[in-house]
């Protein structure tokens, strides 16, 4: 059975996740990006639901999305938007994230989205770079200001880099 503090932490993460998803949907609508092209839903769940996990730390969150998207862009520019290229891009992105210490499993969707939709280089900046930074800022504020009582004094992140 869950103790009161654990239940509060779970509820705080869920409420923060819902708010962050609503913000992502609003951004998607305002910028005319289809929601499928904004690859942060699983990142939101990771960062707000499991804030102590290694993939939930800022280096993995921001770096993973940037590295994975960059790999996808390189592959699509070299090979075109073919299904096989999307598969290769995802595999190469996994390797690149591991090698750079930025492994963030939710970012694995980025190269797929990039290749399948033949995204431009600007996708790396908006929505990916800006979105990852905004999510990190939101997670920081949420965990350290809004949900601080539910987190029993824990702070996010466990480490910045």
Please give the angle made by the CA atoms of 99, 102 and 103, to the nearest 5 degrees.
Answer: 85
Per-residue confidence (pLDDT) for residue 74, from 0 to 100: 98
Q: How far apart are CA 87 and CA 43, in angstroms?
A: 20
**DSSP assignment of 93-146:** HHHHHHHHT---GGGGHHHHHHHHTT--GGGGIIIIIHHHHHHHHHHHHIIIII
pLDDT digits (tens, 9 = 90+) for 98-141: 999 999 999 999 999 999 999 999 999 988 999 899 999 999 99
Query: Does residue 153 surpass a pLDDT of 70?
Result: no
CA angle, residues 13, 16, 20, in degrees to nearest 5:
135
Domain assignments of the chain as residue spans, ordered by start? 4-146
Report how far residue 3's alpha carbon sits from residue 103's, in angstroms, rounded to the nearest whole number: 32
What is d(CA 106, CA 55) in angstroms, rounded to the nearest whole number? 9
Check residue 102 and give its pLDDT. 98
pTM: 0.88
pLDDT one-digit tens code per residue, 47-93? 999 999 999 999 999 999 999 999 999 999 999 999 999 999 999 99
Q: Tell me the angle at which helices 41-49 and 4-30 cross, rounded to the nearest 10 degrees.
A: 160
Quick check: 25 and 61 in contact, CB under 8 A? no
Q: Of 60, 77, 71, which Cα lies nearest the Cα of 124?
A: 71
């Amino acid at each position: 059975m869950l103790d009161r503090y654990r239940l509060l932490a779970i509820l705080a993460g869920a409420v923060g996740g819902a708010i962050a998803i609503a913000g992502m949907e609003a951004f998607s609508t305002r910028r005319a990006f289809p929601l499928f092209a904004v690859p942060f839903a699983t990142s939101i769940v990771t960062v707000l639901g499991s804030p102590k996990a290694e993939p939930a730390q800022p280096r993995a969150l921001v770096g993973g999305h940037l590295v994975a998207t960059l790999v996808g862009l390189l592959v699509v520019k070299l090979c075109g938007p073919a299904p096989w290229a999307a598969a290769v891009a995802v595999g190469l992105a996994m390797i690149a994230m591991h090698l750079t210490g930025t492994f963030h499993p939710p970012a694995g969707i980025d190269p797929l989205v990039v290749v399948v939709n033949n995204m431009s280089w600007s996708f790396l900046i908006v929505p990916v770079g800006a979105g990852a930074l905004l999510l990190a800022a939101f997670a920081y504020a949420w965990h350290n200001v809004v949900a601080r009582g539910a987190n029993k004094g824990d702070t996010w992140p466990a480490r910045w880099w």
